Amino acid sequence: MMKDTITAIATPPGRGGIGIIRVSGSSAESISKSILKTLPESKIAHIGCFYDDDEVIDQGIALFFKNPHSFTGEDTLELHAHGGPVVLDRLLQAVVKNGARLAEPGEFSKRAFLNGKIDLAQAESIADLIDASSQQAAKSAIRSLQGEFSKRIHELVEQITELRKYVEASIDFTEEDLDLLGDGKVSEKLNAILNQLARVQVSARQGVLLREGMTVVIAGKPNVGKSTLLNALSGRDSAIVTDIPGTTRDVLREYIQLDGMPLHIIDTAGLRDSEDVIEQEGVRRAREEMEKADCVLFMVDSDDEMPESGTIIRNKIDLTNELPRVSSRNLLSPSSSSRNLLSPSSSSRNLLSPSSSSRNLRSKYPGSRELNQTIIYISAKQQFGIELLKNHLKEIMGFNATSESAFIARRRHLEALDKAHQFLVTAQDDFKSIELLAENLHLAQNALSEITGAFTSDDLLGLIFSSFCVGK
Ligand SMILES: Nc1nc2c(ncn2[C@@H]2O[C@H](COP(=O)(O)OP(=O)(O)O)[C@@H](O)[C@H]2O)c(=O)[nH]1
Ligand SMILES: [Mg+2]
């Protein structure tokens, strides 16, 4: 148990039927005796008055959890009072007066982690469950919380450990005793581990998409229909649409969901040279957003204006009586494909290829998205081809809404998985020396352990838990 005892209001601010104060640490017992005038039996609901000295502040339900059988692993007291800000404030003050201090954000979860009740990935999934913005994200978070993600990491770590033992044992033998590097077993085992790691990476990437979604910027010349598209995608009239070029001057943001994947759509000022200082600033901001985006939809309203590569929205097909369609061309291979409304996307994109442009991946393979040209023919005004566009967005992010294996994941998890992957690949390539092989396996193992927190710096822990809400 930590020396000091922490407390916080665990319910959100404002008024509600019930408000809960949590207390965790060695003084929870004595605090209970002051506030309740009794120590309830562990895990048995106690109904009674809450006191500040001898004055009754409120009446409600109290729960005491004797360590280690609590969320934090410490003695814990929960006071379920009435959910008014004044009542809860007074109760909190009474608890503090009796020896607790106010908890920092995420401190309860941090203690649960430090006391071995949950691992780091599970602790993170609690915050992600609370923050979930879709059913799918919540489902994935609860899967992570139940240890699904951690289990798969442990399995990998175990296999690497086993291989390490085998490899390290042979360091003590002479070459005649053991032809380790020649027997093919190590290579076979490494391949199996790499394959399993790849499957975890795929699931984790879905998890990151569910958590963070993607940012899409609509860019192009004035009057091509960018704001009309924003409105069509969001189903609201959030942007002003006129036929006057330069109507949109600021950056407008909308938030929608594609099968549970959050999508941040950004409408920008039309890209053109302007004398107007406000519009100039708008154009500067537009370019800034384009830099940061996962995907830029470059919009045109005539065939002459199309750029060579990237995702192009060819708008206003209603004026020429064309049908919505998607046309893709890989600039490296001359064959191009064109599909229409009736044949849904059949492209099976490899999630691990650079084109599945997670911001991470993309920064590693700059310019990778420049290798394709995709033109989506739509009418933003008539709402033709909007579904095609949505499907395309899911596809370029490698998002698979039906993936049941997804667990919630964070960017730092992807980075750790990537790192482990790198070390394993190096291990495979560096077959010359047993020592090097053993070292790379060790490093891969450490990278994976960062995910569950078995091998994590204090700084990182501080960073992770400080983003939690108070009382969690
Ligand atoms: N016919 C037709 N007109 C459109 C379409 N999309 C937008 N417009 C019109 O084009 C003009 C400019 O649209 P707006 O969305 O403000 O363009 P922005 O400057 O790129 O944001 C408006 O008069 C829209 O009604 C479309 O698909 N078909
Ligand atoms: Mg506009």
What CATH number should be reported for the domain holding residue 203?
A: 1.20.120.430
| 110 inside domain | no
CATH of the domain at 87: 3.30.1360.120
Note whether 236 and 373 are same-domain residues: yes
Confirm whether 113 is domain-assigned. Answer: no
H or E, element range at 178:
none
Q: Mean per-residue pLDDT for 435-461?
A: 89
Q: Specify whether 253 is located in the same domain as 391.
A: yes
- pLDDT score for 366: 39
Regarding whether 294 and 165 lie in a shared domain, the answer is no
Best substitution site from 381, 382, 383 to test ligand 1's pocket, by max atoms within 8 Å of Cβ? 381
Sequence letter at residue 7 = T
Residue 391 is predicted with a pLDDT of 92
Centre of ligand 1 from the C-alpha of residue 309, in Å: 23
Domain boundary among the residues 397, 425, 444 is at: 397
Cα of 316 vs centre of ligand 1, distance in Å, is 8
Q: pTM higher than 0.85, yes or no?
A: no
User: What's the pLDDT at 119?
Assistant: 95
CA 342 to chain centroid: 33
- pLDDT 10s digits, 9-39: 999 999 999 999 999 999 999 999 999 999 9
Q: How many Å lie between the centroid of ligand 2 and the Cα of residue 219?
A: 9
Quick one: pLDDT at residue 460?
A: 81
Please tell me whether residues 244 and 378 are part of one structural domain: yes
Residues with a beta carbon under 5 angstroms from ion ligand 2: 226-227, 248
Q: Phi/psi at 356 (nearest 5 deg)?
A: -80, 80
Beta-ladder partners of 374? 311, 328
Q: Whose CA is nearest to atom 9 of ligand 1?
A: 225
Confidence of residue 54 (pLDDT cuts 50, 70, 90): very high
For residue 434, the model assigns a pLDDT of 81
Same domain? For 57 and 145 the reply is no
Mean pLDDT of the chain: 86
Most confident of 79-88, 199-208, 300-309, 335-344: 79-88
Q: Give, for ligand 1, the residue of 218, 221, 223 to mutate: max count of ligand atoms closer than 8 Å to Cβ.
A: 223
Q: Which residues contact 126 (CB under 8 A, 6 or more apart)?
A: 109, 118, 141, 145, 468, 472
Distance 253 CA to ligand 2 centre (A): 12
The whole-number pLDDT of residue 61 equals 98
Structure confidence at residue 343 (pLDDT): 33
Please tell me the predicted confidence (pLDDT) of residue 174: 60
Alpha carbons 429 and 218: distance in angstroms, whole number: 43
Domain-located, residue 72? yes
CA distances from 396 to 48, 232, 309 (A): 58, 20, 14
Q: Do 254 and 341 belong together in one domain? A: yes
The pLDDT assigned to 333 comes to 62
Q: Residues 442-446: what's their mean pLDDT? A: 95
Please report whether residue 233 resides in a domain.
yes
Please report, as a single letter, which amino acid is at residue 43: K
Where does a domain end: 344, 362, 397? 397
More confident residue, 179 or 60: 60
Cα 323 to middle of ligand 1, angstroms: 18
Query: What is residue 90's DSSP assignment?
Result: H
DSSP-derived secondary structure letter, 322: P
Q: Give the pLDDT of residue 199.
A: 93
- Which carries the bigger pLDDT value, residue 354 or residue 239? 239
**Does one domain contain both 376 and 445?**
no
State the residue range of the domain holding 52: 5-103
Which CATH number does the domain housing residue 301 bear? Answer: 3.40.50.300
* 367 band by pLDDT with thresholds 50, 70 and 90: very low
Quick one: average pLDDT of 242-250?
79
Q: Is the pLDDT of residue 359 over 70?
A: no
Residue of 92, 124, 113, 109 whose CA lies nearest to 8: 92
Q: Among residues of the chain, what percentage have pLDDT more than 70?
A: 87
- How large is the average pLDDT for residues 367-395? 86
- Out of 229, 241, 252, 267, mutate this one to test ligand 1's pocket (max ligand atoms within 8 Å of CB): namely 241
Residues 21 and 87 placed together within one structural domain of the fold: yes
Instruction: For 32-88, give the DSSP string.
Output: HHHHTSS-PPBT--EEEEEEETTEEEEEEEEEEE-TTSSSSSS-EEEEEEEE-HHHH
Question: Can you tell me the distance from the alpha carbon of 196 to that of 452, in angstroms, rounded to the nearest whole number?
Answer: 17
Query: Ligand 1 atom closest to Cα of 229?
Result: 15
- Nearest ligand to the C-alpha atom of residue 229: 1
* Whole-number Å distance between alpha carbons of 359 and 214: 9
188 assigned to some structural domain: yes
- Are 209 and 406 a contacting pair, CB within 8 Å? no
What number is the average pLDDT over the span 167-182? 66
> Alpha-carbon distance 370 to 179, whole Å?
47
Q: Is the pLDDT of residue 336 over 60?
A: no
With a Cβ cut-off of 6 Å, ligand 1 is lined by 222-228, 241-243, 247-248, 270, 315-316, 318-319, 379-382
At position 151, the amino acid (one-letter code) is: K
The pLDDT assigned to 2 comes to 63
Q: How far, in Å, from the CA of 311 to the mean position of ligand 2? A: 19
Closest CA to 407 of 154, 202, 269, 219: 202
- Atom of ligand 1 lying closest to residue 315 CA: 27
Ligand 1 atom at shortest distance from the alpha carbon of 247: 19
Distance of CA 249 from the midpoint of ligand 2 (Å): 8
CA atoms within 13 A on the CB side of 11: 20
For the ranges 124-133, 192-201, 449-458, the lowest mean pLDDT is seen at: 449-458
- With respect to residue 12, please indicate whether it lies within any of the assigned structural domains: yes
**Contact predicate 395/356, CB 8 Å:** no
State the pLDDT at residue 462: 86
Instruction: Specify whether 253 is located in the same domain as 352.
Output: yes
Q: Are both 309 and 376 inside the same structural domain?
A: yes
| Domain presence at residue 120 | no
Q: Identify the pLDDT of residue 225.
A: 94
Strand partners, 220: 299
Q: Angle at CA 465, nearest 5°, toward 154 and 444?
A: 30
The residue whose CA has the least distance to atom 19 of ligand 1 is: 223
Q: Last residue of some domain: 103, 135, 152?
A: 103
Query: Poorest-confidence range of 23-37, 111-125, 266-280, 342-356?
Result: 342-356
For residue 334, is it within any domain?
A: yes
Nearest residue (by CA) to ligand 1, atom 8, is 225
Categorize the per-residue pLDDT at 182 as very low, low, confident or very high, splitting at 50, 70 and 90: low
Judge whether 266 and 289 are in contact, CB under 8 Å.
yes
Tokens of 284: 């500067």
pLDDT band at 339 (very low <50, low <70, confident <90, very high): very low
The minimum-distance atom of ligand 1 relative to the CA of 380 is: 27
Note the pLDDT of residue 458: 82
Report CA(269)–ligand 2 centroid distance (Å): 6
The alpha carbon of 339 and the centre of ligand 1 are apart by a number of angstroms equal to 25
279 and 150 housed in the same domain: no
Q: What proportion of the chain, given as a percentage, has pLDDT over 90?
A: 55
The Cα angle at residue 57 between residues 53 and 63, in degrees rounded to 5 = 90
**How many structural domains comprise the chain?**
3
Are 253 and 282 contained in the same domain? yes
Backbone torsions φ then ψ of 455, nearest 5 degrees: -145, 80
pLDDT (mean) for 158-171: 87
